[in-house]
Structure 1
């Protein structure tokens, strides 16, 4: 340990402490600090934390250990109100951290680090030289960093830090953000400003923003970032852009973040000058091998490639009569000598295929089970259509026992109100991950397939389509930060993590530890996604949004060139009824699930009514379990969604004493927008479906504010994210 390297850090900590000491807790905040605010613990509660954090004793002097020291000094000084710096000997309350390989002190404690892998950690209170200290130990430095964030999180949320004995290791290997960012800094389905990657100024300019991005991801266990859009540009694989990606990799490396790239399957033709991209052509295979060598020469710890192929017009191996496995394996062979992986997306559907879109991915990928190389993982969206407000879990989960499957969630809210609607996605993630696939048997949750335990896969992954942009608060709205946060926490442990306690963590760290704030806000968050489902897509309806930009309702759209782009394809409403029959009498999509699951979806007496119209076409007078008709139930569910948003506005209005003015006002304004747009969704949808059902509104349900012609005439050609 080279103590001479540390005095500037202590000066920085003291300066930061002075800032904390004079800051007003109610002072305006812009959201940039995310959940890493480290505000002082309340008087009367701070004593135990001061006693448990008297000094720092790092083992080693690697970039990651230096990051640990900086973070602990910053966090503990801010939280305890007292400067916490490096000490040379362990004393009472010292935090000792490192690995057995870097510290004889830690090695001598003989801590049980087996089973923690390269990223797990142990936090334990031990006696050292006659004094009680806190040890953060791991097999690798990155585990120490994760442990440091865990300890700080416990103090931020006012948990006890005495007599600790904690072990944690990630259940999933690849925990990635997928950035749908383009080289011109636009972001597909992005609602938080421009891309944070300033490609024009890279590689020579790497602002502090990039470090703060990596730090935030490390704090929740995310260990990788796909830098560019899945609808990618082949230029991303040219030498100048590889150098730019390498500059980002250098910034991210101390924080345990690997970079990945989306690659365009036709790149050998577009930037390589070849006449073909056929994956079985030796020239193409040689080109990809050379390209992988070039990337790894610049980025030795490069993670691998993400591929969207033969979907929505993207090139792929089927252009040459080859299979998805042929294309993925060609890339896998190029990456294998370097330890890289191929993440091959299963989001495929074709204009030429008349089959129910729900079935197309299963039809293409199930026959390929067992034909992918070991360093290929198939990335599957949580549902079979496209990140809808509610979808049943994707039938591929459990259907491919010989192939590792990687979960793909959307953090950005393409179908859930963009950045202005408050929709906490923890319940959506939990709903999917806890679903029982019954494959290989009862109790085989989606989470157990994602973490590899169901079928014994070592290569595992979970990806989230990022909601990050250049807005000062990172995600376009303050509450959208919670979706980034809960994704990371659930990716660490998909089966064991639950949405409600994570919402509580985030609310405490981001706003206030006062129970009078936390309890109502967590309740609001937990009900928010259901409210969006209610006022957008009740009872299993789906894909009802307007064309292209997906902003606002468009259940009447029927004139798009591809049938599966039209909302009428999905709701199939007419004078007789509404819904998509996916039972044996219809498309029989239920048959792609395990028999137990299929029977539950197909049986009207058993199906969860939240999925009713996803799997059944029913008459408007179908009797629901409430005793109401389907029409009345649908309208009242729309109404409930709007009412819930009104309640959310009321809840937030009462939170003003606990929140700084800037963030309070911004959230208030967005909730006002949400209430207005919830009513728009409800009114437009009810006005349209009433023309088909020819039934009156239920008693007490308000008339739409405008005519159907008014709603159909609305146009938003410049809506963001398109």
Structure 2
């Protein structure tokens, strides 16, 4: 029989473990209790009573979010401290604020757009007030989440004067989710959309999804895969889409659908989908009207056309302008937009896959309707660990271009590998197109400031699934968060984003923050090093893109084979895209092309992307290309080993559940980093004929072994 003190001890152990368990479901909206008594008192004194102005569903959501956040971060003291305070926190849109409050704000509303917000400390009539406002209720909600972020990151809330607006109009998640709940390139379980039980069963997770997106300023979601199924446009499924739209609306989130170009044939009974055919044009107009009757704020269509076997206007000897403008005409009366993807490549183009999108789209600059935006991947191939920026950016001054980043890690080790992608996003956004001289960055192209474009957008291919922690790996929540923050402001630094996310998600303890932030910031380069150093690209295994496969050469289309991209032979390695090769560099501005063409000036991180280089070529550090490449692979492995050591020291700062989740995944990443190093170096060594440098660990398996590995059930394929 247990003695009383034994029972108490046992209860304490169980209770404490329960308290410190955390499944990661709350994402960055943890609202953890603020342990510093002095800080809590400062916050309690400054906030005062909550005074909502207006009673819309969105304002009510803001009120509940403030109550949830304050109750959790400040505890029961928040409720009791409000009884006698003279201070207030007033929040509401401009139209609902008292005249006295508006006077205090002066001309601040002139500095924000329709989604912007103002957070300001003011004093009048003997009282102190914090005002959270905007021109719209959704702007107020964004302000509420921003204010809560200040508390979560332990910042001062005295003398506030924050005026902020999103720099990009369309800030959208693309879900590559299928109607059977599988997710193409999804690594965190099945789709969160339970199509079978919609519209009558509304999973609370849909609301939590909307909360998370609104908290980082995302305002759109494409519900279905770019490899679309036309059934999504039938009444049976539009009813389900409507149910989701109703949940998302008060959070400022519009729904979009991927439209299959051949839908008029597949669900409309027509014999053609020719965009210039009268019956096809009318079918899309009627279908669009049907959608807007259900969903008045429907965002519009995303289209993948004439790419990877998807139907499109070229099936009927028409062009991208014909297809996009036909849909744009159908959407125009309702304010909807067309996001037309530029991800196109053909087996009939023997020159260079990297050139095709530019070749197909740039000649049509200025011919698309005003409600068409061209969605362009960050690089010209396909979401590689590192790619030079896509040459279409800066090349279409009369056409809005929408950035497409991949948040899910198709080519980056899936959700197993911990990589902080805002470093990749930052690198692309800061790249200089030189379209109007130095400083013409990609960010300025997509936010419209480079050429005065009014329609602007950015999309991220979601890494979300129905795993309890949303992303399969708790650290990868930072990529969803970071994408949202950069969608709001593409000039934010990856370091700022990492700092914010860690403090909101884990702890404000600098002993934890400093090393883990550095680990996150270094992680992207580590992955590049052990997968594709020095400009190598697309050497992943075929189909599922899991693990290395530089030897693959037997696929029916040349540009599907990794050997097409690395072109390793006895003379060297790399894809010559200079004037002596495919001349892809000519698609960039001369200032950029000159840098890429010249072996003396090209950044070595892009070397093999643009040049076929001899194995004994001397790198800037004096090492031969072969030795330098081998050492890069080893460096990547060593960096993951360092990540493991750093994380192991954090056990006292992280709850058991998330600590173990990340620890196990880092160990898998280390194992797979060595796999990448060994398989690639053994394969390329056949061509270089050179020994591995002394500092590179020798493989314990043969090349035949690595080539024999098969993964028929790899996720996301």
Do they superpose with TM above 0.5? yes
Pairing 1:576-655 to 2, within 5 Å after superposition: 576-655=571-650
1:452-471 equivalences in 2 (<5 Å): 452-471=448-467
1:144 is aligned to 140
Q: Where in structure 2 are the equivalents of 1:32-47 lying within 5 Å?
A: 32-44=25-37, 45-47=39-41
- Residues of 2 paired with 1:99 and 1:90: CA distance? 26
Measure, in 1, the Cα distance between the counterparts of 2:690 and 2:276: 59
Inter-partner Cα distance in structure 2 for 1:286 and 1:620 = 60
Counterpart mapping for 1:148-547 below 5 A:
148-494=144-490, 496-547=491-542
8 Å contact kept, 1:46–1:80: yes
- Partner Cα separation in structure 2 for residue 23 and residue 387 of structure 1: 43
Matched residue count:
700
Deviations 1:618-656 (A, max 9, x none): 100001000000000000000000000000000000000
* 1:29 and 2:25 aligned: no
Aligned 8 A contact 1:430 1:498 in 2: yes
Matched-pair contact (CA < 8 Å) for 1:389–1:416: yes
Contact 1:99 1:107 in 2 (8 A): no
Q: Offset of 1:447 from its aligned partner?
A: 0.1
Residues 162-185 of structure 1 deviation map (CA, whole Å, 9 limit, x = unaligned): 000010000000000000000000
In the TM superposition, what is the alpha-carbon distance from 1:23 to its structure 2 partner? 8.2
| C-alpha distance in 1 between matches for 2:567 and 2:84 | 70
Aligned pair in 2 of structure 1 residues 31, 86: CA closer, same or farther (>3 Å)? same
- Partner residue of 1:59? 53
Deviation at 1:88, TM superposition (A): 11
Structure 2 SS opposite 1:697 = coil
Query: Is the Cα–Cα contact under 8 Å of residues 56 and 85 in structure 1 kept in the other structure?
Result: no
Query: Is this contact kept in 2: 1:304–1:341, CA < 8 A?
Result: yes
Contact 2:44-2:81 within 8 A present in 1 as well: no
Equivalent in the alignment of 1:5: none
> Residue 48 of structure 2 contacts residue 82 of structure 2 at CA under 8 Å; is this kept in 1?
no
SS at match of 2:132: strand
1:109 positional shift: 3.4
Take 1:24 and 1:501, find their aligned partners in 2: how far apart are those partners?
A: 32
Q: Which residue of 2 aligns with 1:109?
A: 104
- How far the C-alpha of 1:26 sits from its partner, in A, is 6.0
Does the Cα contact within 8 Å between 1:192 and 1:471 map onto a contact in 2?
A: yes
SS in 2 for 1:133: strand
Q: Report the counterpart of residue 89 of structure 2 in structure 1.
A: 95
User: Following superposition, which runs of at least 4 residues in structure 1 exceed 2 angstroms of deviation?
Assistant: 22-26, 82-93, 103-111
TM-score, length basis structure 1: 0.95
Consecutive unaligned residues of structure 1, counting only runs of 5 or more, are 1-21
CA distance, structure 2, for counterparts of residue 618 and residue 335 of structure 1: 50
Q: Aligned partners of 1:274, 1:306: CA distance in 2, in Å?
A: 22
Write the deviation string for residues 286-323 of structure 1: whole angstroms up to 9, x where unpaired. Answer: 00000100000000000000000000000000001111
Gaps of 5+ in 2: 1-14
Answer with 108-117 or 34-43: which moved more: 108-117
Tell me if structure 2 keeps the 8 A contact 1:307–1:342.
Answer: yes
| 2:706 is the counterpart of 1:720 | no
Shift in Å, 1:128: 3.4
State the 1:50 CA deviation: 1.4
| Structure 1 CA distance for aligned equivalents of residues 87 and 102 of structure 2 | 20
The 2-side partners of 1:320 and 1:89 are apart by 71
Give a deviation string over 1:334-363, Cα, whole Å, max 9, x none: 000000000000000011121200000000
The 1:631–1:86 alpha-carbon spacing in structure 2 relative to 1, beyond 3 Å, is same
Aligned to 2:707, what secondary structure does the other structure show?
helix
Distance 1:53 1:405 in 2: 42
- Tell me the TM-score normalised to structure 2 length: 0.96
